[in-house]
Amino acid sequence: MEKVKSVAEFVRVETDPDNPGVAVIRLDRPKVNALNAALTAEIAEAAAQVSGDDAVRAVVVYGGERVFVAGADIKEMGDRTAVQMREYSRDLQEALNAVERIPKPVVAAVTGYALGGGLELALSADFRVAGTKAKLGVPEIQLGVIPGAGGTQRLPRLIGPARAKDLIFTGRHVRADEAREIGLVDEAVADEEVYAAAVAKVAPLAQGPAVALAAAKESVDRGLETELSTGLEIERMQFASLFATEDQKTGMRSFVEEGPGKARFEGR
């Protein structure tokens, strides 16, 4: 990561020098990227920035070499009232929803701890790559509360209700090998290889048809929220709309003239 596109107090949006279509949302709140109100707001801003930037074709969310996000800032929330926490959790959910709705492939590069809100942030990505020493979990039950930023909803959708309840009810941490086994992460690699592996996961997609990828992502995500018949209708409308894009013309012409897999898409 070299070229800096924007800098806030705790979040930078950078471009990968070797993959110009890949943007990196880099979290940097010492010491452990604990989620407070400011970091939450900056994550939402970064998500909006990469969503609206046509030069960005894929995104990596990265907390650095030591830690992804160790969880929420307990000192900040400990004395808040129920009314205040409704507002706080709403803001946090909206920030992670903004990450989930980035209309481009998104991968979370997880090193160290991804706990509580940290794991919930990782769950907002399309893919997760974790270091072998990473620890993931939703330990909120050990504080007398439950996950409040999507953990009770995204986690069972990803790994199934029984496995999700095991993690939520016990608050236990899982290492990368178990996380890979239960489908919580997609790849487990050496800690020093996490960032490179995450970029490698999405860099090829950054060369793909951007409009079609956005349509595919929306079809899958929205379809999971509804019954099959509505999901099929979402798919049908997205499929048909792509016949108005340049990439559809390019892709089908290339297939006929050159064979599969050789089209060069412009993202229009």
Which residues participate in catalysis according to the annotation? Answer: 120, 140
Instruction: Say if residue 94 is exposed, middle or buried (CB neighbours under 10 Å; 0-12, 13-18, 19+).
Output: middle
Tell me: cis bond preceding 31? Omega within 30 of 0 counts: yes
* CA–CA dist 119, 67 (Å, integer): 12
Distance CA 178, CA 201 (A): 20
Cα 154 to Cα 80, 116, 127, distances in angstroms? 25, 13, 13
